[in-house]
Amino acid sequence: MNNIVKHETLTVVLSKMFGKTIINATHQSEQLHGGTLGDVQLISGIAETANNEKLPYKVVWKRQKKWERPGDPNSWRREYDLYQSNLAAAFTPALRWPECYHSQLRDGNIELWIEYIDGVSGSNLTIEMLEQAALELGRFQGRINKQHDDLRNISCLGDTGFLGREFSQWHMQSFTYDFLISDQCQMWGFMKEMLKNGSIQLVDGKSFEYSFLRSKGCNLPEKLKRMIVDIDERKDELFNRLNNLPIVLCHRDFWNENIFFTDGVTRLIDWDTTGWGSLSEDIASLIVDGMDVERFEENYNRLVPAYLKGLSEYMDVPAAGEMFILETILIKFGYRMAQEYMFSGTHDENNWGLKALQKIHEMLYGKD
């Protein structure tokens, strides 16, 4: 992507940001995150007004190429579309997204100039901060469910089938045996040897992870394999129950790296997977995604009640046990946890994936 900041665009952005006419601005850039399909940079400098004021600024320049996320092909442009919609009306000072100062869609690319959000984030978030985020998420979803019927007409939002399609990818993504053992495949050599000697038997039409869990070479403890396979075998029943829960607007990337606690309030970034889903989706992510395993149980015990409290201010909510939150965690992350262990190349008991599955098993079935 072209990294040249256009002066005329920058002055338009800063004029809206400050509510003043900006005639000139210095700038420097710092890569925040991104890759071959997306690029996010922090642009900072000094803006000059028509009255010769000098104003320091920071703003995020986010660009995204067109691509198709499996199961959600329009996600590449969703943030652009949402900023054109009336979603902003659903936010409050206690929970909101970054303000957008300028946006553009051209030639299969989006460009957003948005507010720079700073504050406590990631693993530095305390349990109290996470509780507040869960509470405000519940309020946000409850308000939309009760008051914002017009938001249901936003065409760019993901649909209720996303979770099922996401889960199915762990079953149906498949590579041939010849590819997996070839030099083109970047899989660890020890895994290729297990394929060659028959320790791993590929199941026709299924993913490598699906096959590995059912092979004699899988050294994951039997009770943990059984827990994941049980979710596979019960998927129709579980999805029927999840689909009977109230439908809410899910962020779908609700984890600690996207949450910022700033001046006592919650800010939430990266809305590109947003769509309609079940009550359990976002809170399941908040409990485990990016979290130390030692925090799982406290997260569950404190964040779920906070979330339900926020929802209950606007709608009738089921009991925590009726939301199948731990099962949703396994639907969303079970195979990912197993994958982290199986590709680690070691039998290390401190592996995050192994410890995570052990903790979820304990929370579901109690200690052995």
Question: DSSP labels for 67-111?
Answer: --BTTBTTGGGHHHHHHHTTGGGG-BTTEE-PPEEEEEEETTEEE
Predicted local confidence at residue 36, as pLDDT:
52
Q: In terms of domains, do 48 and 190 share one?
A: no
Q: In terms of domains, do 105 and 168 share one?
A: no
Does 2 have pLDDT greater than 70? no
pLDDT in tens, 201-212: 999 889 899 999
- Higher-confidence residue of 149 and 195: namely 195
Does 148 have pLDDT greater than 70? no
Q: Stretch 91-115: mean pLDDT, rounded?
A: 95
Q: In terms of domains, do 136 and 86 share one?
A: no
Decide which of 65, 91, 116 is a domain's last residue: 116
pLDDT in tens, 82-93: 999 999 989 999
On whether the CB atoms of residues 139 and 310 are closer than 8 A, the answer is yes
Q: Across the chain, what does the average pLDDT equal? A: 92
Domain of 23 in residue numbering reads as: 1-116
Q: Stretch 65-89: mean pLDDT, rounded?
A: 91
Q: Stretch 68-74: mean pLDDT, rounded?
A: 87
> How many separate domains does the chain show?
2
- Higher-confidence residue of 184 and 47: namely 47
Decide which of 116, 140, 156 is a domain's last residue: 116
Q: In terms of domains, do 84 and 164 share one?
A: no
pTM: 0.93
- The letter for the amino acid at 344 is S
Q: Two tokens at 238?
A: 């579980």
- Higher-confidence residue of 98 and 186: namely 98
Q: In terms of domains, do 35 and 97 share one?
A: yes
CATH of the domain at 84: 3.30.200.20
Q: In terms of domains, do 167 and 103 share one?
A: no
pLDDT-based confidence at residue 34 (cuts at 50, 70, 90): low
Predicted local confidence at residue 241, as pLDDT:
94
Least confident stretch, 137-141, 186-190, 254-258, 259-263: 186-190
In the chain, % of residues over pLDDT 70: 97
HSE-up of residue 123 (Cα within 13 Å, Cβ side): 6
Predicted local confidence at residue 346, as pLDDT:
64
On whether the CB atoms of residues 102 and 50 are closer than 8 A, the answer is no
Dihedral over Cα of 85, 87, 89, 91: its sign: negative
Does 37 have pLDDT greater than 70? no
Q: In terms of domains, do 104 and 210 share one?
A: no
Does 230 have pLDDT greater than 90? yes
Q: In terms of domains, do 23 and 145 share one?
A: no
Q: Stretch 288-314: mean pLDDT, rounded?
A: 97
Q: Stretch 68-81: mean pLDDT, rounded?
A: 90
pLDDT-based confidence at residue 348 (cuts at 50, 70, 90): confident
On whether the CB atoms of residues 95 and 136 are closer than 8 A, the answer is yes
Distances (CA, A) of 4 to 110, 113, 120, 211: 15, 14, 30, 47
